Amino acid sequence: MKVLVINAGSSSIKYYLYRMPESEVLAHGLVEKIGEETSRLSHYCMGRTHTRKQRVGDVETGIELILDTLADPDVGAVERLSEVRAVGHRVVHGGELFTGSVIIDAAVIESIRKFADLAPLHNPHNLAGIRTTRRRLPQAVQVGCFDTAFHATIPGFAYLYALPYDLYEKHHIRRYGFHGISHRYVARRAAALMHKGKYDINAITCHLGNGCSLTAVKKGRSIDTSMGFTPLEGVPMGTRCGDLDPAILFYLADKGYGINQLKTICNEQSGLLGISRLSNDVRNLQELAAAGDSQAALAIDVFCYRVRKYIGAYAAVLATVDAIVFTGGIGENAPMLRERICADLIQIGVRLDPDLNAAAVAREAVISTNDSPITVFAIPTNEQVAIAKDTYKLAAAQMGDTPSEGCIERPAVEKAARR
């Protein structure tokens, strides 16, 4: 079965075409700079790269370009689009309704639209991709895979904020968590590498990139995560502030800062960029810090300290930790930061091997010593293959075929302990 995976954002669309259940990548690519005059498509198929520069005004136009390219007789991966039997869509926000991947129908579309209030920068663009592929690929089963779904098992005492309960009931203000597809993938992969069942592992998964989140995984299920009602909460990120005293915003408002200005500060001007005043890119900051730039060094110090604090907190929550997993652009490619983060965690059982850590760049590896009570991994995330597997399972079941693996996880949302 040929399965197309779509990750549609406001300024870019990533796509992968798989042959399932082998998880063989037939083609993949990226449409970037949507809405700009310099838009372009980069398409990779059969060892060849095809680049097409043309203005792509919106997500719908970008999806059309992707589908036309996939069926192009010169550079495509299929003779006709009808060969694509299923499409898996990454959807950022599923609220409390979706606790696993689902086949998309009119009711699901309406729910995704409703949750756009909670993810206005993401869900509308995810919907645009869904609507376009449904129109162009009417024969294909459409599947939604939600970033929030893995965190549906977080208990009420962990997802509730200490605000008036009416705000939860009326406006659904609670911790939702994000990067769930990535956290689930690396937690499952760590379990497999440790020869454990997927529900037999306690792990702290650290998705560290321009956006960052950590998750406490107990017996294979998320029980707490650092991002909250929005992806702004948690550790400092490339341009996002992470945790702060909310009274700071009230104070700045009294000083004349408007709501939109405060949103911009917290989301676009803070984090590594805000502290360093130079860059949100860890690679640049490492070079600058090595050359003696104190602000770059301070930004790295703050980042590593906050990540270490979350790891310590989640170790307390889990009581027993089998593994710590680093993933994401920073987690996979910055050995120095991994070393800095783990340096003072020996008291909880983390013993990093300097040589293994230094060698683990953009590849899967154990980076702890053989006698480390907690196994530390660097595992490149693979959200797209996780989406492809979910999509294949659901599509195969719908078509009456027998999927190669077990059923889709749909853990019950924890309703207890809210009050």
Active site residues: 147
Spatial distance between the Cα atoms of 237 and 242, rounded to a whole number of angstroms: 7
- Which one-letter amino acid corresponds to residue 156? G
What is the distance between the terminal CA atoms of the chain, rounded to a whole angstrom?
Answer: 47
DSSP for 241-260 reads --S--THHHHHHHHTT--HH
- Phi–psi pair at 28, nearest 5 degrees: -155, 165
Please, which residues have CB within 8 angstroms of residue 162's CB and are 6 or more apart in sequence? Answer: none
206 near 226, Cβ under 8 Å? no
Q: Measured between alpha carbons, how far is residue 67 from residues 79, 136, 392 in Å?
A: 12, 8, 19
Spatial distance between the Cα atoms of 19 and 34, rounded to a whole number of angstroms: 28
Please, which residues have CB within 8 angstroms of residue 245's CB and are 6 or more apart in sequence? Answer: none
- Phi–psi pair at 273, nearest 5 degrees: -65, -45
The C-alpha angle 404, 127, 25, rounded to 5 degrees, equals: 35
Spatial distance between the Cα atoms of 45 and 176, rounded to a whole number of angstroms: 37
386 near 185, Cβ under 8 Å? yes
213 near 334, Cβ under 8 Å? no
- Which one-letter amino acid corresponds to residue 103? I
